[in-house]
Amino acid sequence: MKNILIINGHQRYSTAEGNLNQTLMDKMVSLLSEKNNIKTTIVQNGYKIEEEQQKFLWADIVIYQTPVYWFSVPGLLKTYMDEVYAYGLFFKSADQYGSGGLLTKKKYMFSTTWNAPEKAFNDPTQFFEGNSLEDALSHLHLMQKFIGMKPLKSFTCYDVIKNPKVGKFVFELELHLKEVLNF
């Protein structure tokens, strides 16, 4: 049995209510709670920094469920990270830059929703110029590496505004969680 923290990083806008990200988070909770201890945070609803820090220390695995806005996480999720990732608790000074992470026994997974279609990645003639999804998420992976966490394979829903295939996304998420977390 693992301790799993699931964070919904969606930030509501008039054109993005967050229904898909909440649906995916709810599915994770439903699938994983049978054999794991689950705690959740919905950043949009507010949080207490010290409580969130304790959730990270408790967790074996942290799952970030988040849309990608302008090639990064929403501003509220970035603020959450800025406030919660504390010096002395999540990382410390080290002789070699980036080697002072204190959460070395923890893993994380990104579950992201993109308006970009899947074909925009891994093709040199498309927008991302041959770069992969992981390349596009590399700055987010570096933040987790800095605090010592190890990555699990990311999950992504593509083209969610133009072609919202919620049933397909939920089905693929379930397959992904079975593969990555062996539940």
Residue ranges of domains in the chain, CATH in brackets: 3-181 (3.40.50.360)
What gap in Å lies between CA 139 and CA 131, rounded to an integer? 14
Percent of the chain predicted with pLDDT > 70: 100
Among all chains, which residue has been given the structure tokens 């967050």? 18
> Which residues sit opposite 62 in a β-bridge?
5, 108
pLDDT digits (tens, 9 = 90+) for 82-127: 999 999 999 999 999 999 999 999 999 999 999 999 999 999 999 9
Q: What is the pTM of this model?
A: 0.95
pLDDT digits (tens, 9 = 90+) for 26-36: 999 999 999 99
pLDDT, tens only, 136-166: 999 999 999 999 999 999 999 999 999 999 9
